Chains A and B, each alone.
Chain A
């Protein structure tokens, strides 16, 4: 932590008894609401032994779900990465009218229920949707197919990279870029050699959060996927199907893989926050 006058601890404080009680209460609450669910996932997954656990993971439908989840994230995350960079360049480096409206609109997907995020595409591209019959004549299927899953995921993870980069780039100002331009660098050179090195850790941070949500999204994807086993089932959807079939061990086996992904994400996120705190906007908010 930097030596900021505001972060000095007050000379007055709670007595040791209050301290211990508050720490105890906080730990108890977090244990009940965070640690217990995690423990439940792994213990249920291994409830019938390692063999049953592995059987759930290596099932062809489960493998197909893993593959689809990776594919969807591999498309959705780069799309939102490009968007995030473009949006933050326009918003952070230039002054224009209507900026706060644009910022509010970029945040919009955060305040829309995941179910609605899926529904909007069903109404557009579904068989009974506005463009559905036309798409059917063209032989294109979006809803109950992979493109719909990708679209819904893109919608839900839309703001992640932009939300991280905009405050970071705003804070860094425009002097470096202006100097580069004055010295004769092209726009692309300026971005690649001046801006990108300054934002790389923030970029990675945004991608990390975007990816975690992309791989874990359930509600939006559930509405557009049609739950076709081995075809349009992502891992979170596969968890639901197995669970509803009372195949608990397999459901929790796949869930434990997703929980592991969440833990890796948290560890990477914490590492970025500690190591590069000054180069990540979120760490300062």
Chain B
């Protein structure tokens, strides 16, 4: 808060000649004013208000709520499952992106369009569909049951839901970078005697890596906060398969507003740290690919 106030304060004296670069186009005041007004009304004031409510709970109670074993376990499940899902997506998302960019085969365009399905399909629909497949009496769940293990109602089920949700993030961040790769670099590596695998690990992968990391971070951030697609398949057993968003909803339904607010604010803080990380990664990506 104080840091933001001091930056805008130092900019204020120069506002007259420095805030807006000279232009002949009209409408900046209206457009900028409305943007700021709407942003504050819908996003900033409600979010800031929640942080204030959480601060009103008090430091000791804040930590008592966040460090309770059930809450800590929910954080562990949410972040752990999101990380595993993001890593699974990193491998398969990279393969999908590679295949879509490099190869021509029948149905490629349909597959390319289908990659965005998790963006377009409502999360509750994805949730009940995945549960129907992986529950012990479902298409895949029945096989798992015969083999002696459970998928739905365990953290494995959560990971599956988060893989579904996160897939497009990886594919869509890696695709443009793969498209922009210089053909000459690969040809040079091959003519210098590198095997295809060496070319991939030593030449291509380092170029793709920044985008891949950004994609992983985006999928991870989305997975941590995901609610709809997870709650059906998770079974929501406290200290086993309970995620943080569900815990927030549960507190709210018990009219424990302080508890819900504190857990939500802690989660928001962690999300911000991840956002900073994503921005850092994107800047890194851009600086490495600056032309």
Contact = CB atoms under 8 A, between A and B. Distances in A.
Given A6-B180, A155-B42, A120 B47 contact: yes
A36 B39 CA distance: 39
A138 interface: no
Interface stretch (B26-34, B59-67, B69-77, B150-158): B26-34
B125 interface: yes
Interface string B84-102: 0000000010011011101
Interface in B10-54: 11, 18-21, 23-28, 30-32, 34-36, 38-39, 42-44, 46-47, 49-50, 53
A208 B103 CA distance: 29
A40 B183 contact: no
Nearest to A42: B129
B185 to A, nearest CB: 8
A110 B18 CA distance: 31
B27 A22 contact: no
Given A13-B102, A236-B125, A119 B114 contact: no
B115 interface: yes
A285 B105 CA distance: 23
Given A12-B190, A83-B35, A26 B99 contact: yes
Contact of A97 (B11, B96, B249): B11
Contact of A25 (B47, B95, B128, B181): B95
B212 interface: no
A181 B246 CA distance: 54
B126 A113 contact: no
B274 interface: yes
B31 A12 contact: no
Given A116-B248, A158-B43, A269-B113, A37 B164 contact: yes
Chain B, interface size category, equals 35 or more
A6 B53 CA distance: 52
A134 to B, nearest CB: 14
A130 interface: yes
Contacts of B35: 83, 86-87, 90-91, 102
Contacts of B102: 9, 13
A19 interface: yes
A89 B92 contact: no
A106 B39 contact: yes
A276 interface: no
Interface string B222-255: 0011111000100000000000111011001001
B11 A6 contact: no
A265 B3 CA distance: 43
B228 A218 contact: yes
B50 A251 contact: no
A193 interface: no
Contacts of A199: none
Contacts of B264: 113, 115-116, 119
B116 to A, nearest CB: 6
A111 B128 contact: no
Nearest to B54: A123
A234 to B, nearest CB: 9
Given A9-B183, A115-B248, A116-B267, A30 B20 contact: no
A258 B121 contact: yes
Contacts of A89: 27, 31
B260 interface: yes
Given A102-B35, A109-B43, A112-B268, A95 B249 contact: no
B128 A119 contact: no
Given A209-B119, A219-B245, A222-B249, A104 B279 contact: yes
Contacts of A206: none
Nearest to A129: B257
Interface in B142-177: 160, 163-164, 167, 172, 176
Contacts of A75: none
25 contacts: A22-B103, A23-B105, A26-B92, A30-B114, A33-B164, A35-B114, A41-B125, A44-B129, A83-B38, A96-B19, A97-B19, A98-B8, A102-B35, A108-B47, A111-B225, A120-B49, A121-B46, A174-B23, A178-B24, A222-B227, A236-B124, A240-B128, A255-B125, A274-B109, A285-B172
Interface of B: 8, 11, 18-21, 23-28, 30-32, 34-36, 38-39, 42-44, 46-47, 49-50, 53, 92, 95-96, 98-100, 102-103, 105, 109, 111-126, 128-130, 132-133, 138-140, 160, 163-164, 167, 172, 176, 179-183, 186-187, 190, 196, 199, 221, 224-228, 232, 244-246, 248-249, 252, 255, 257, 260-261, 264, 267-268, 271-272, 274-275, 279
Q: Identify the 3 closest CB pairs spanning chains A and B, nearest first.
A: A113-B225, A216-B122, A219-B227
Given A13-B102, A266-B113, 11 more contacts: A15-B196, A23-B105, A33-B167, A34-B118, A90-B31, A94-B32, A114-B123, A114-B227, A116-B264, A174-B25, A252-B132
